[in-house]
Amino acid sequence: MIKNETIRAANRKVYSRSKIRFFQTEGAMTDYIRRMGFVIALCIAAIFFAVIPCLAQDAQQYYQQGLEAYGVGEYDRAIANWKSAASLDQKSAKIQKALGLAYYQKSLSKKDQQTKRAGCQAALAEFQKAVSLDPNYAQVYSDMAGPYECLGDNDKAIQSYEKAIALNPKLKDSYYYLALLYKQRNEIARAKQLVKQGDLLPAEPLEDTDQAGWYGTFLEYLKWKSLGPTLEELRQ
């Protein structure tokens, strides 16, 4: 009887020691897993913060290459580069705006009306993406008016120019373009008022796409040369 009790006591002691060792081992494993999880999380964070600047840098490189192409009138190459930039930086309203300008300028050279309309619709889509990213980007609303005119929707073109001016009253060129649209409506008094307001403002600061190259400057010169007589008429 005493022998059996001794054996049972010994078994209980062995069991207790095994149980203690098990929980000690399990605790060590849990602690090890927790430490490894922390190390893995740190590695993932390090990789993330290392990759993001590289992507942004690549997006900027594509953007600059697009500017170079846009500046010499190579709109297809500009579009390709700016699409690559947009895929890497999906939060840049500036890149979407540039894409809209490239599609619009490309459409102006098309004689086929269907092709021209398709280009203007593509431009409008990019401008709308830009304002969805930055609703207060006044210049985009001004640029958006061109495709609306191209598509024959002068009412929306007027709304776009007025929105641009509401957001930034210093957009000198928008006053002139808006005046021309009101003149087409035969609202001469309103057109004259807008020209007068525009004349009081200093020249607009140039954006990247405005100073991209000689070709864009040349087109801008031709545009204002053709609009000049109408504006002078409204100044009378």
pLDDT digits (tens, 9 = 90+) for 52-81: 444 456 999 999 999 999 999 999 999 999
Backbone torsions φ then ψ of 230, nearest 5 degrees: -65, -40
CB atoms under 10 Å from CB of 197, counted, come to 16
Where do the domains of the chain lie, and which CATH numbers do they carry? Answer: 2-235 (1.25.40.10)
SS3 category, 9: helix
Mean pLDDT computed over every residue of the chain: 83
Q: Which of 68-72, 206-210, 221-225 comes out lowest in average pLDDT? A: 221-225
User: How does residue 8 score in pLDDT terms, banded at 50, 70 and 90?
Assistant: low
Dihedral of the CA atoms 118, 120, 125, 131 (nearest 10)?
180
Comparing 3 with 141, the larger pLDDT belongs to 141
SS3 category, 78: helix
Res 51 pLDDT > 90: no
The first and second tokens of residue 155, run together, are 């009412």
pLDDT digits (tens, 9 = 90+) for 119-140: 999 999 999 999 999 999 999 9
CA 60, 61, 66, 69 torsion-angle sign:
positive
